[in-house]
Chains A and B, each alone.
Chain A
């Protein structure tokens, strides 16, 4: 019983020690509702995803009742990539965005080919078979997606999934840090980060990197949990988040704490307007956002012009 009292007083003391410690060990930031140094936060987040990687997809389906798939579909539809697009999916871990991208450009490519064939009704058999030959090797039409993630376990799961589902063409996997991307300037047509930017420690650096690696005219797209303004929905959402999600984490993944972190990190993340301002600060123009499900999730978009 005495411990509870001590902890309360300890809070003030810890804040003081924290600021002193901060001078030595690096600036302070948050991990869910805790206060930690930046180095500690990076380490803890790495461990969270290392721990959940194998059950990541199962948990996503359970927590969102499968709705996360719709959110990701909407993101790709909004992107509307044409064949030949070069996509960088950061924090792409288990590949959900990458696979959807490939599916989308593949069907776009098929439609493109069909349209072309319709216009070529007067070709000889020779010419037709030649056009089939060259198009066969471009079922994606030169589209490519690079999946970049900081966590080896998540990438491993993603690669296994790709193999299992039969995705190989136009797909590559790179270990990298969103705050310091291992790519040259002006390389990509589209940059996406889906449910990843929340876990980045220095969001401003990640946004600057996004700006750097995009080609002029390139698009930045961010899919992330955001803030619900409707008070009733907000209460229900909080109730569900704090009461149900950690329990699901314990029962399905045997890991309460990682999912407690997840719901806390959502609350800590900047709301829609603030994130929009941060994206503008990085140099993006025509920045806008679209709320999904009343703000539970939001898609932010910006262009490098």
Chain B
């Protein structure tokens, strides 16, 4: 029903002291940073964030919001895939996070070339990115699904590493194609479809003839990327991990 409408009545005046904020939507925050939203608000957010993400590509927060507000079908799907896989299930239980504070950067740097850990650190340094810039979820109304989308965001950089793609527009679009096949998240699909709009003709050609077909083939062949406990596989060589997941070698 429309429970949220009754809560939207202004009751502030006759003393609602001691009650939680966000009560208008009829729910309480389910995890730190959660903002409960009504279906109308989600729809408006989805439309607004889609527009803003295209208008201003630097608004990464808008891409994140788009993912959260449109993921209501794809996220449970992903969560179930994780639940039915032994490694994925463990990840859901243990809820590992990839953050600078939990990573042993020096240790990873010391690993042999070609290992996941070494290549991951190399990727972070070459592209000057950090795992800590991932937005925490706000608009996902289920705390386990919030973790799933958080995990997807934190694993994104590892995808770049495994696919060998840099963080420029072209590289991001290729990763989006891969992720769109893998996760089915509408945000990935939209990003994959609209991202190329800003690329030059030459890059578009490379994209269309080589990179996207490869990304699609790999995406379909690979098992679910969220089902790998990357934090326990730092020593594994990238080539071997690629084979295990089912990603074809990059062109």
Contact = CB atoms under 8 A, between A and B. Distances in A.
A30 B45 contact: no
Contacts of A32: 12, 21
Nearest to B60: A254
Interface-central residue, A28, A34, A257, A268, by most chain B CB under 10 Å: A34
B28 A7 contact: yes
B62 A267 contact: no
A15 B41 contact: no
For the side of the interface on B, what is the size category? 20 to 34
Interface residues of A, number: 32
A247 interface: yes
Contact of B28 (A3, A18, A252): A3
Given A254-B61, A256-B35, A33 B12 contact: yes
Given A243-B44, A254-B61, A256-B138, A35 B28 contact: no
Interface string A242-283: 111011101110101100100010011000000000000000
A33 B21 contact: yes
B13 A268 contact: yes
A250 B45 contact: yes
Nearest to A32: B21
B49 interface: yes
A262 B44 CA distance: 19
A247 B48 contact: yes
Given A15-B18, A35-B18, A254-B59, A247 B12 contact: no
A138 B16 CA distance: 54
A242 B12 contact: no
B12 A238 contact: no
B38 interface: yes
Nearest to A11: B18
Nearest to B61: A254
A3 B30 contact: yes
A4 interface: yes
Interface of B: 5, 8-13, 16-24, 27-28, 30, 35, 38, 40-41, 44-45, 48-49, 51-52, 59, 61-62, 65, 138
